[in-house]
Structure 1
Amino acid sequence: MIQTPEPASGIEPPEDAEFRAEVREWLAENLNGQFRELRGLGGPGREHEAFEERLEWDRALAAAGLTCLGWPKEWGGRDATLRQQVIFHEEYAKADAPARVSHLGEELLGPTVLAFGTEEQKQRFLPGIRNVTELWCQGYSEPGAGSDLAAVTTSAQLEGDEWVINGQKVWTSLAHLSDWCFVVARTEKGSTRHHGLSYLLVPMKQPGVEVRPIIQLTGTAEFNEVFFENARTAADLVVGQPGDGWKVAMGTLTFERGISTVGQQIRYARELADLEAVAKENGAIENPVIADRLDKAWVGLRVLRAHVLRTLESGHDGASVDARTAAGQASVTKLLWANWHRDLGELAMDVLGAPGLIADGEGDDLNAWQRMFLFTRADTIYGGSNEVQRNIISERVLGLPREARP
């Protein structure tokens, strides 16, 4: 029988066991109170589910000191160790707690500001992320620069004490619900590729910013197009130095593929166990091909878990990890989980068989398996497409010749 992976900790030191008990107890108490109905809600392809209620849940976590765990105490964190952060994500996923709405701020922008930002930027933005009073979106991809971030054409010119921004971003998750966007823009005229880019913090609620939802195959619209037409932000809201945007943006991508992927794997394990149960109920498991694919999915999940824990440890045990190795590790992680989840969506449709072709949810809505199948097609694209990840591994890590580019 497929089971959720055991915690990575083994025999835990007393302080870790105490922290695990604290997290487990808080989740058990609060998920059986006013937030009981939020169990399992939200996440990729389902961000529309109980958004306001999940926002309140995130703020309850903040009040309990359970957000931004790895941040320094001076900025509202707990200086939690890597092991403790893993423990939190394990327990959170095992409790089937709702998907967080503040992920982009807490897991991406916050660590980026801590690493590259000024003291004034930390004082201005970190409290709002920590307390979940300001939500963030990510302004990277463009119509002509999907996974090729160095090809961005959105421009920003410094006029007096403000940056004036013009251009378009696309596939911007939750832009319609966000207060701020971290935007990679070209700030040096005539620059090309990764030169002349800057990393700007831009308010979303202003004239000159238009958000247009993109309706997906699932019928939902958590992705958006964002148009900037003479939108403005203060001159000092550039993270790092002007022109250093590529370095800062790559730092953000490293944070994106960090500790939260541990909890992601436990959610995947639950999906796999649920799918096995469906296969037993409808008899699909009697098909040896289906049974073999379920077993291979379990093995693949263990491989993913081992890889993530190993690479996380290599970056936190004092060992020196060069930029090339770090890029390769992050790309392998992305390829592993994206392809695994896409394959699970395809397996789900094969387990369901012909009935899986019929929308049988409420009001002819998609059921959970159909929604997962459709949305997991995007897993191999967002956050860096498969093709780009393979190029990073081949060119930057293995030293193979660069792919021909126009």
Structure 2
Amino acid sequence: MTTTQEAVTAAERCTPEFRRDPHAVYAHLRTAAPVCPMRPPHGNDTYLITRYDDARAALSDPRLSKDMYGAMDAYRRIFGDSSVALDDNMLNSDAPKHTRLRRLVNSAFTPRRVEALRPRVEEIVQSLLDACPTREPFDLLPGFAFPLPIIVICDLLGVPPEDRSRMQHLSTTVAQTGFGEEAKRAQQQAEGDLHAYFTELIGAKRDQPGDDLLSALIAVRDNDDGLTESELVSTAFLLMFAGHKTTAYLIGNAVHHLLSHPAQLRAVRENPELVRAAVEELVRYDGSVESATFRYATEDVEYSGTLIPKGALVQIAISSANRDPQKFDRPDELDVMRPGNAQDAHLGFGHGSHYCLGAPLARMETQLALTRLFDRFPGMALADPAAGPRWLEVPFPAFRGLAELPVVLDPAG
């Protein structure tokens, strides 16, 4: 594999072999090349951080900037010009802009608003399960894991029900874009459509505000310094995109691993109070965020004896950090009763000022999805356990998720 003198290519991280088991590669890198230079197809010097301590420090290191405008040439080579209009949000900014945007969004996206969604999430879960076939194999991802968070985030933002499938299609197109010309055109078209859609929706909600998050964001003010039009559109996109893709893949990963570990599933079913700890462990063990979004070095930075030069891009391998034996005992084992499995132990929702704003909602949705699914279908099983899982092959290993999840909800009938 890769040594400290070699660079890992992006292609090596997208092979079927790597997608099936990235953890063996990451284990090697943590020892041999904990800060590994990469040769991605976009041509920008990139370094991959794989150890837990380095990753945690890097996630809050002010020398590693999230402000895309500071690395605009690199950004355009990777994503093109069309993405810029949708990235004027807190995910792609540093203080003081990030601080202002985060405070404004926090003032509307309150814990009370999230908790108030619990009965509605329960209702959506039960409704989706009502519609699932029970005795024959079917794919749980499009039948349950994906509709749940897209309905929830659309309800939260105030997106009309008839637009849900379109939102899912467009954001999926953006997420799965490759480097070919055809893929780039599809990405640009989808991003343009999303920008136009949210611009129109924001205009409609200005005229007729509703009891939804987008209306609250429009109305919010912070010392007369509210969100600009560009920031509103971009924030709406960010909440839509991040609010359903990562949760959908997390639910799929969680169901797969619990079905593949009967003793762990039995422990959760026998003690429902374990579901909260189980979700944290599942996020650590194989969460849906494999790598954090790009950062770039504003000055020379050193991690684990490796110099990251000024201007280089940095990727932080969350999946690797969460399996680091220097932090977690028996990291490659799924253990829902793992001692000290506190919410802030793993890095699945990030760390520092960019810690995932939607983490409470993602936790709630996943907990309710697993609880109701296994309560209602205690005999649920993988349709073909011998076949093994088929994982997504994506151009950037940002998401860790299944391409399909064939199950039988009630094999005994």
Same fold (TM over 0.5): no
Q: For the superposition of Structure 1 and Structure 2, which TM-score range results when normalised by the shorter chain? A: under 0.3
Larger RCO (CA within 8 A; separation ≥ 6): 2
Normalization by structure 1: what TM-score? Answer: 0.25
Higher strand fraction (1 or 2): 1
Normalization by structure 2: what TM-score? Answer: 0.25
